[in-house]
Amino acid sequence: MDKIIIQAPIELAGMYLSGMELTEGEVANFWVPLAYEVKGAIASSIISGYKEAIENFEVAVYYGDSNCQRSILRSLR
């Protein structure tokens, strides 16, 4: 199995990381929360799997402050 490392900055445009989730496919039927570890200014989550088997997975990274929330979606490739 491969180790897939998912990384995101802990701050984006003045908003701080509030969570990360994993899903499969373009139309998500489920979202799985990801645990992550912060080192410096980067949050990292490590999942195990075969790279060929997770090509259709996406990660959502959530940021927010008291006035705004932002989410960023990225495909795992």
Per-residue pLDDT of 27-74, as tens digits, reads 778 899 999 999 999 999 999 988 888 888 999 999 999 899 999 999
Q: Are 38 and 3 in contact (CB under 8 A)?
A: no
Centroid of chain to Cα 58:
8
Q: Are 4 and 75 in contact (CB under 8 A)?
A: no
Mean per-residue pLDDT, 2-8? 93
DSSP assignment letter at 68: -
- Paired tokens of 75: 């495909």
The 3-state DSSP class for residue 77 equals coil
CATH number of the 2-75 domain: 2.60.40
Q: What is the pLDDT of residue 25?
A: 76
Q: Where are the domains of the chain?
A: 2-75
